[in-house]
């Protein structure tokens, strides 16, 4: 069942904390539109668009893509999605992005996934993705039905250029430095909820319970008018 009112949320967390994996479950369960700037940027790089050419060098080094480029991409997509419930995966990542998003879109919730870094470094080694959809697999956790092939399209899976160990270490550094002010910003607005755990099996039931409660509240509010 969908939310009775439009619901807008953000999911944050370190690289490979499971944002994409949890997002997929939220989409399946609650029907939100998934907006992942990381997936969008990877597609631009794949297609060699002007935006992709500009973004590639930052992504390959594990650095953040400049705010102007990412903002344009995200706000354009939000406009396309229109009057539906959506969730932003891995955005905002800087205070500038958070402030500009708030100026354009009121948010109902911010979810932060808190996963130990040693778990993250192990996970990245086994990650394979389907580039055009952003579907993500992990050897031994959610294996594709046919090794190396996407379950839906049968197309080849690839490993991400930024999943090399030294680039992952840089992404974790950038995350620690840049995300703290964003977390504080949402903390002050009492919008953020932290979900702690080492596995999706631990985190998903907490997230599901949280969103079910939000949905109940939205239903109660719509009955009260
Ligand atoms: P982005 O694509 O957003 O990458 P990220 O934040 O580094 O996060 P990931 O996508 O790597 O991980 P995830 O949390 O989605 O985890 P996943 O579900 O895959 O960004 C990439 C780059 O784009 C950035 O570095 C930057 O350059 C640029 N960019 C993006 N947004 C930007 C912004 N707002 N501003 C500026 N630049 C931006 O899970 C990880 C793995 O673990 C998977 O293989 C999964 O299958 C596996 N897994 C999940 N749960 C389990 C489990 N329980 N057990 C075993 N494996 C598991
Ligand atoms: Mg992701």
Cα within 13 Å of Cα(131), Cβ side? 14
DSSP-assigned letters across all residues of 31-65: -PEEE-HHHHHHHHHHHT-HHHHHHHHHHHTTPPP
- Which residue of the set 56, 123, 135, 171 is catalytic? 171
Is 171 assigned a catalytic role?
A: yes
Q: Are 199 and 122 in contact (CB under 8 A)?
A: no
Q: 86: part of which helix (H) or strand (E)?
A: strand 86-89
Is 93 assigned a catalytic role?
A: yes
- For residues 111-131, give the mean pLDDT: 92
- Residue 192 has φ and ψ, to the nearest 5°, of -95, 140
User: Nearest-CA neighbor of 87 among 40, 24, 142?
Assistant: 24
CA distance 198 to 85: 28
Distance 136 CA to ligand 2 centre (A): 8
Q: Are 99 and 71 in contact (CB under 8 A)?
A: no
**In the predicted structure, residue 177 carries a pLDDT above the cut 60:** yes
Residue 4 pLDDT class (50, 70, 90 cuts) = low
Q: 206: part of which helix (H) or strand (E)?
A: helix 200-224
DSSP-assigned letters across all residues of 10-22: EEEESTTSSHHHH
Q: Which residues line ligand 1 (CB under 6 A)?
A: 13, 15-21, 37-38, 41, 58-59, 62-65, 70, 90-93, 97, 123, 127, 136-138, 141-142, 162, 171, 199-201
| Nearest ligand to the C-alpha atom of residue 19 | 1
Give this prediction's pTM: 0.89
- For residues 111-127, give the mean pLDDT: 91
Distance 12 CA to ligand 2 centre (A): 10
* Omega prior to 122 cis, within 30 of 0: no
Report the DSSP pairing between strands 127-129 and 136-138.
Answer: antiparallel
Q: Which of 37-41, 115-119, 174-178 has the highest mean pLDDT?
A: 37-41
- Residue 43 has φ and ψ, to the nearest 5°, of -65, -40
- Which residue of the set 24, 93, 123, 135 is catalytic? 93
**In the predicted structure, residue 221 carries a pLDDT above the cut 90:** no
């Amino acid at each position: 069942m969908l939310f009775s009112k439009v619901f807008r949320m953000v999911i944050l967390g370190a690289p490979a904390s499971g944002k994409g994996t949890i997002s997929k479950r939220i989409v399946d369960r609650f029907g939100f539109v998934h907006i992942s700037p990381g997936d969008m940027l990877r597609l631009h790089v794949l297609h060699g668009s002007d935006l992709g050419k500009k973004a590639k060098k930052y992504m390959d080094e594990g650095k953040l893509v400049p705010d102007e480029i990412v903002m344009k991409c995200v706000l354009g997509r939000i406009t396309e999605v229109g009057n539906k419930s959506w969730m932003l995966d891995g955005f905002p990542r800087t205070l500038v992005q958070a402030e500009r998003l708030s100026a354009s879109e009121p948010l109902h919730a911010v979810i932060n996934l808190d996963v130990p870094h040693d778990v993250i470094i192990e996970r990245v080694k086994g990650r394979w993705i389907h580039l055009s959809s952003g579907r993500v697999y992990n050897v031994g956790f959610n294996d594709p039905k046919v090794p190396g092939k996407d379950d839906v399209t049968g197309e080849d899976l690839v490993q991400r250029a930024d999943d090399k160990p030294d680039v992952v270490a840089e992404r974790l550094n950038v995350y620690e430095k840049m995300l703290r002010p964003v977390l504080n910003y949402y903390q002050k607005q009492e919008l953020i909820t932290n979900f702690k755990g080492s596995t999706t099996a631990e985190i998903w039931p907490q997230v599901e319970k949280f969103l079910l409660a939000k949905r109940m509240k939205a239903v109660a509010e719509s009955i009260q008018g």
